[in-house]
Structure 1
């Protein structure tokens, strides 16, 4: 067994999926066969959600029906909202979101029914209500009343509206919609794998989503974009960026947002986000965060041969959009909920308990010593 083990399961194929695929050598990502750049340029979050769940793009009536159902299901149960109000404001947003999503399962109106039809409805409720929970969490932490969702707005625009109380510009809403598309799924990443492991035990969808949020919250996964922005804020000015990064590297400290277990070239999602970060900064008359990011990218490529991943330019983009830094991982979870629920549905359709082996490296034949003789 020893010759089969690899740290972090690197290179080990642990599941079969039609949801997404990463070509690390060519820097490509596809959802159900469609290139991520084509989807970013042409699709919407709602349409891409349909694609990921159903394996094909929807017709007009199908897309309208899904968009309507997502809009109709945005309001979480009153009991869960009361729970949010009771939490201490010091709670980290991802901790609060994880707990709230778990609580949604308690108030599931179709609890106990594990059919695909019902699980699709659960997926719709989870994708629809997660942005509402995130917006509520932000406003309650600031001592402000939540803004109720608007069913006439698409999911991306509605989230920005709930966050600020003001309808976003068409450009900002579109760009945020693209960012959500880019984060929907990424093959068998840590949180998607966690969701499949949990589902393989025949646990419910809420358990899988809760476990996935827990996995995403770590700084080596969904928490990375928050760390990136904290670094940019610490740098503060473009003129300090090069020296700051070189000092980090001399101290052998990690620069977040660079390198990837699969990609050997630049993450295609990072390319799209880089362009949007620049465009948004130019519209706002503030390109400082983009400029710092670009310098950091140049130094990292020169010194380490590493390219930015999806977390790097999403940080400056979200910040310029007005999203609080500690909310970045929650925004990641909003989008990735579509991917997680897709993995749950796919695992349920052809389930086998995921139970790998471990290589034992401890001692053997250790005699038991009675407590009186220890």
Structure 2
């Protein structure tokens, strides 16, 4: 009873058996084995059918045992994380609704809070001179046709080479690297418009790398909100790659490189570019119906619609659409996006996702199709660092699954030329 009272007093909801199993990385029957051995205390409310557990006690057992059995019978790898929760068409960072975070705080403020638990109003990330110079030189050396993702990848490597202390994985050192790496990546991209101060807020500095159009306050508000909303999204493919690298105790630059590598695909970071091109086609042809019909006829999914984690509308898209309504030049692209949603809804129940909302911004601001992926990558860098910090507290090299061999059975004859 004491454990139950403690959980209530701290305001933390008690865990169901399934939730306790997920946190411990074990099967539900193993949870009851812990109870029978006195390692966990269960409590059953009068009239309820299942037991509940104190989250602090469960977390303490997880730290002591170091067990990480998949709770799904081996079908998926279960990874304990306290960063992002997606629940009932809402996304939360450390229990706080991301829509509220985006409405009240800047990208730098949210990133700093996510890393440290401390909200520092007005914090600014600045790039060190050595790292900025090395990254810019590396970017300038690329072929003219190189895109922004190519530029970000080489900028990370150049910044790493300029940092002889990159192998220091202490928390303070990793945080220092994070605060300098993100602005270094922004400042390494070629400026397309008037370049603002390198010590100012990050959103205007990024804007000048994405378009030559002048920035207005309403548009910058959308960009900054997009950066906040895209910081993390549970264990996406790039985040899993980051945690594997962190499990091997790679340095922060290599960890971000792992994330960028996994992000570089049409099913992840590049999805906003497909939505961008779709909106341009709708505006050019004057009809969403014709464009949607072409996608359906070809057996393709309509870009910017649907998300497997949200039965309804992606909450990140809803936030950005509301902010975009205050940007006059975004009206045509916003209307095109709404027509894509309503037209597709006649055939299948799919809702807008964040890629479609991001595409409205990039189209309205005259940005290239790759701009959405650039925003995505830079925003997600903060989330990757948060996951790396979390993984550094775990047992090294814990993510070492066993392969299921399906090749020819040995012994086989030696291959001949």
Q: How would you bin the TM-score normalised by the shorter chain? A: 0.7 to 0.9
Residues 181 and 335 in structure 1, CA contact (< 8 A), matched pair in contact too: yes
Q: Note closer, same or farther for the CA distance 1:250–1:161 as it changes in structure 2 (3 Å cut).
A: closer
Structure 1 match to 2:108: 46
* TM-score computed with the length of structure 1 as normaliser: 0.84
Q: Please show how residues 321-360 of structure 1 align to structure 2 within 5 Å.
A: 321-353=365-397, 354-360=399-405
Residues 225 and 311 in structure 1, CA contact (< 8 A), matched pair in contact too: yes
Shift of 1:238: 6.9
Residues 241 and 262 in structure 2, CA contact (< 8 A), matched pair in contact too: yes
Residues 246 and 299 in structure 1, CA contact (< 8 A), matched pair in contact too: no
Counterpart Cα distance in 1 of 2:316 and 2:395: 31
Residues 216 and 223 in structure 1, CA contact (< 8 A), matched pair in contact too: yes
Q: Note closer, same or farther for the CA distance 1:337–1:327 as it changes in structure 2 (3 Å cut).
A: same
Shift of 1:337: 1.0
Residues 228 and 256 in structure 1, CA contact (< 8 A), matched pair in contact too: yes
Counterpart Cα distance in 2 of 1:74 and 1:48: 25
Structure 2 match to 1:33: 95
Residue 199 of structure 1 pairs with residue 246 of structure 2 = yes
Cα RMSD after superposing both structures: 2.6
Structure 2 match to 1:97: 152
Q: Note closer, same or farther for the CA distance 1:197–1:27 as it changes in structure 2 (3 Å cut).
A: same
Shift of 1:165: 7.3
Shift of 1:201: 0.7
Aligned residue pairs total 346
Counterpart Cα distance in 2 of 1:243 and 1:235: 8
**Aligned residue among 260, 279, 291 for 1:232:** 279
Q: Note closer, same or farther for the CA distance 1:5–1:113 as it changes in structure 2 (3 Å cut).
A: closer
Q: Please show how residues 269-288 of structure 1 align to structure 2 within 5 Å.
A: 269-280=316-327, 283-284=328-329, 287-288=331-332
Structure 2 match to 1:14: 78
Residues 276 and 369 in structure 2, CA contact (< 8 A), matched pair in contact too: yes
Counterpart Cα distance in 1 of 2:415 and 2:175: 55
Structure 2 match to 1:63: 121
Structure 2 match to 1:9: none
Shift of 1:96: 2.2
Residue 187 of structure 1 pairs with residue 251 of structure 2 = no
Counterpart Cα distance in 2 of 1:99 and 1:363: 37
Report which of the two has the higher share of helix. 1
Counterpart Cα distance in 1 of 2:159 and 2:210: 21
Larger RCO: Structure 1 or Structure 2 (Cα < 8 Å, ≥ 6 residues apart)?
1
Q: Note closer, same or farther for the CA distance 1:244–1:328 as it changes in structure 2 (3 Å cut).
A: same
| Structure 2 unpaired stretches of 5+ | 1-69
Residues 238 and 288 in structure 1, CA contact (< 8 A), matched pair in contact too: no
**Aligned residue among 183, 198, 221 for 1:150:** 198
Structure 2 match to 1:306: 350
Counterpart Cα distance in 2 of 1:238 and 1:278: 23
Structure 2 match to 1:78: 133
* TM-score computed with the length of structure 2 as normaliser: 0.76
**Aligned residue among 214, 217, 220 for 2:267:** 220
String of CA shifts for 1:113-166, please: whole Å, max 9, x gaps: 2211111101111122222123x2x64xxxx9x946431x21112322455678
SS at match of 2:310: coil
| Structure 1 unpaired stretches of 5+ | 7-11
Shift of 1:237: 4.3
SS at match of 1:77: helix
